[in-house]
Structure 1
């Protein structure tokens, strides 16, 4: 299962990097979101994926063999909420930039700012 997740993380990073190199604002933001989701998936995979076992150790047991680690799950939940807020803010900023400059091409907007 971890191998499948590693391949999926690699595919998400590759697709995100491809989108970020397009030179346009909207695909850049989607690529950034894909790389963020790939990082979340990689952190999730480090928490040990187990089926049919609780992520928490009962109070009377010192350890539970093969239990999942709940810390990466909590970190990812926080990262998803922060990532969504960042995406919405960046989309609003991109819309304002498009309305002000009339283009979503990053290079054209930078050239227009220099003149």
Structure 2
């Protein structure tokens, strides 16, 4: 359930953020999108350095709930600090994470076939 659960949580966070982006008229800024994508890739790279420990922590519901809450707090603080472009950065990061999950899942499925 790990990747599916992670994807579901990512989508559940992304939907209200996309809605906020529409309401706030967040810009479709390629630089902001690239920053969000790069941030997601860097974060995943760093977390993969100690994957077993990260997985053990992530398997705790309180950690997952805290991460969801942190995403919404980051969005609110980001919008207050730099404006709606913060939503663009976060949504791009979440979309990139979904692509990473999909790629890893597909690679695993092809390897197992």
Give TM-score, length-normalised by structure 1.
0.36
Structure with greater Cα Rg: 1
Give TM-score, length-normalised by structure 2.
0.37
Q: Which has the higher contact order (CA 8 A, sep 6+)?
A: 2
Higher helix residue share: 2
